[in-house]
């Protein structure tokens, strides 16, 4: 191959290579979109939401890069521990191929318990206020009104939860003591969330290592009610315009 031909080939592949490199850097270091497939975080997040996750918020680990290509470590590069109330994306500890999104409820050393459907942190019951009803989406796409509450975490963060039935296994639990370097996660749809209240060995989430964090869910960039769209051509009609660019709190 002559130098002229080689130069032409390099020029031909340079632009797409740079573009691919910039995409990899952006999705690794800055932000990445995630699709919400379930209702475990209703009413905060709905099935069909597309959220932008800031990957720099808590520093970086092997789960910050594609395919988890990196060494395991108990500490993250530029690590910052999330605050209670942050909505985070993370890799499921018992199966890192699965990506979940939940709210941070417990920090290292916290004592977490559910008593009669109410959340207790470090021996204190969290205050809740009734906030009318919210439309919860079922697996078949239908909606049903369920009671909505505003819960206040110990750091003053207020967020909406759904509590709509008696669910004994999850409503009355033992006291969970969050280990060092781990977090306790819960879904806002308290009766429809498999989370840290169920141990990993029982098919749940269990405690989540800080290493498994992917990023902080910040903004809803798009939302389509896919369950009620008969095909891809019906998606525009099911676009939830009111949810576009909504901050996640």
Structure tokens at 131: 């906030």
Q: How sure is the predictor about 65, in pLDDT bands with cuts at 50, 70 and 90?
A: confident
Q: Give this prediction's pTM.
A: 0.86
pLDDT value at residue 108: 98
Q: What is the mean pLDDT of residues 45-73?
A: 86
Give the number of domains in the chain.
1
Residue 174 among the catalytic residues: no
Q: How confident is the model at residue 53 (pLDDT cuts 50, 70, 90)?
A: very high
Residue 208 burial class via C-beta count within 10 angstroms: exposed 0-12, middle 13-18, buried 19 and up: buried
Report strand pairing: 213-223 vs 87-91: antiparallel
Q: Which of 55, 61, 64, 102 is catalytic?
A: 102
Which pLDDT score, from 0 to 100, does residue 152 have? 98
Strand, coil or helix: 202: helix
Choose the catalytic residue: 40, 61, 64, 223.
40
> What's the mean per-residue pLDDT of the chain?
88
Domain holding 180: CATH number?
2.10.109.10
Q: Report the pLDDT value the prediction gives residue 28, as an integer from 0 to 100.
A: 46
Residue 148 a catalytic site member: no
Section 98-106 average pLDDT:
97
User: SS3 breakdown of the chain: % helix, strand, coil, rounded to 5?
Assistant: 25, 35, 40
3-state secondary structure of 63: helix
| DSSP H or E segment with residue 23 | helix 3-25
Q: Which of 12-21, 70-79, 124-133 has the highest mean pLDDT?
A: 124-133
The whole domain housing 17 covers 3-247
154-187 in b/e burial notation, b at 16+ Cβ within 10 A? eeeeebbbbbbeeeeebbebeebebeeebbbbbb
Average pLDDT over residues 161-172: 91
Question: Cα(148)–Cα(161) distance, rounded to whole angstroms?
Answer: 6
HSE-up of residue 22 (Cα within 13 Å, Cβ side): 6
* pLDDT 10s digits, 13-41: 444 433 333 333 444 445 688 999 999 99
The pLDDT score that the predictor gives to residue 5 is 47
| Spatial CB neighbours of 121, under 8 Å, sequence gap ≥ 6 | 105, 106, 110, 111, 112, 153, 154
CA proximity to 86, closest of 186, 191, 222: 186
Give Cα 92 distance to the centre of its chain.
11
Q: Is the peptide bond before 43 cis (omega within 30 degrees of 0)?
A: yes
- Is a pLDDT exceeding 80 seen at residue 70? no
């Amino acid at each position: 191959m002559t130098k002229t031909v080689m130069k032409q080939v390099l020029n031909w592949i340079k632009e797409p290579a740079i573009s691919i490199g910039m995409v990899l850097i952006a999705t690794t270091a800055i932000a990445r979109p995630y699709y919400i497939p379930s209702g475990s975080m209703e009413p905060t997040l709905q099935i069909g939401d597309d959220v932008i996750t800031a990957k720099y918020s808590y520093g970086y680990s092997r789960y910050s890069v594609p395919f988890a290509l990196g060494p395991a470590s108990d500490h993250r590069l530029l690590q910052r521990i999330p605050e209670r109330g942050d909505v985070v994306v993370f890799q499921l500890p018992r199966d890192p191929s699965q990506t979940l999104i939940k709210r941070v409820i417990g920090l290292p050393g916290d004592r977490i318990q559910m008593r009669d459907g109410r959340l207790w942190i470090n021996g204190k019951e969290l205050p809740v206020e009734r906030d009318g009803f919210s439309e919860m989406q079922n697996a078949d796409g239908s909606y049903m009104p369920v009671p909505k509450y505003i819960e206040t975490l110990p750091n003053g963060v207020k967020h909406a939860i759904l509590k709509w039935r008696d669910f004994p296994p999850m409503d009355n639990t033992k006291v969970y003591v969050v280990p060092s370097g781990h977090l306790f996660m819960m879904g806002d749809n308290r009766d429809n969330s498999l989370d840290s209240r169920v141990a990993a060995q029982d098919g749940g989430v269990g405690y989540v290592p800080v290493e498994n964090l992917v990023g902080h869910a910040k903004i809803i960039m798009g939302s389509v009610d896919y369950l009620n769209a008969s095909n891809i051509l019906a998606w525009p009609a099911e676009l939830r315009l009111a949810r576009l660019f909504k901050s996640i709190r």
